[in-house]
């Protein structure tokens, strides 16, 4: 999978010119959407199937600052998938390869009424795609 590239926008910085910490979580979401799209399961496809995937946990460890116009690459990998909960890992690096943030997110899969989906039964193709990503 290709890393997601984000260019820090001026509005994402604070008065000191440093990227506000809340933006790293947004970049994780952008990278997650791109990651699933690269895997053939973009959010539009999931939503058309009636699958929603709320965030159940999020974690960020800030390692170094970024500023306006910096390019940040976000590498996404599946840390764990056992059919119900998906755990993703994120490593964000600047152009010199230095880690600026490391994060994780957890998700479950629901139908539009809020019922937990059994992906292996109801959406086996999606289940197998996530399983194969977890094995990499």
What gap in Å lies between CA 3 and CA 6, rounded to an integer? Answer: 10
Strand partners, 4: 74
34 is catalytic: no
For the chain, the C-alpha Rg in angstroms (whole number) is: 16
Which of 32, 135, 11 is closest to 90 using CA atoms? 32
Catalytic pick from 14, 34, 111, 125?
14
What are φ and ψ of residue 134, in 5° steps? -70, -25
CB distance 39 to 1 below 8 Å:
yes
**Catalytic residues, which ones?**
14
């Amino acid at each position: 999978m290709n890393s997601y590239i984000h260019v820090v926008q001026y509005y994402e910085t604070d008065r000191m010119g440093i990227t506000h910490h809340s933006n790293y979580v947004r970049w994780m979401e952008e990278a997650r959407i791109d990651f699933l799209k690269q895997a053939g399961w973009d959010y539009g496809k999931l939503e058309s199937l009636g699958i929603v995937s709320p965030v159940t946990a999020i974690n960020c460890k800030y390692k170094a600052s970024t500023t306006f116009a910096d390019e940040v690459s976000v590498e996404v990998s599946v840390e764990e998938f056992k059919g119900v909960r998906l755990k993703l890992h994120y490593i964000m690096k600047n152009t010199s390869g230095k880690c600026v943030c490391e994060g994780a997110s957890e998700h479950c899969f629901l139908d539009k009424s809020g019922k937990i989906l059994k992906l292996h039964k109801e959406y086996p193709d999606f289940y197998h795609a996530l399983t194969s990503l977890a094995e990499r």
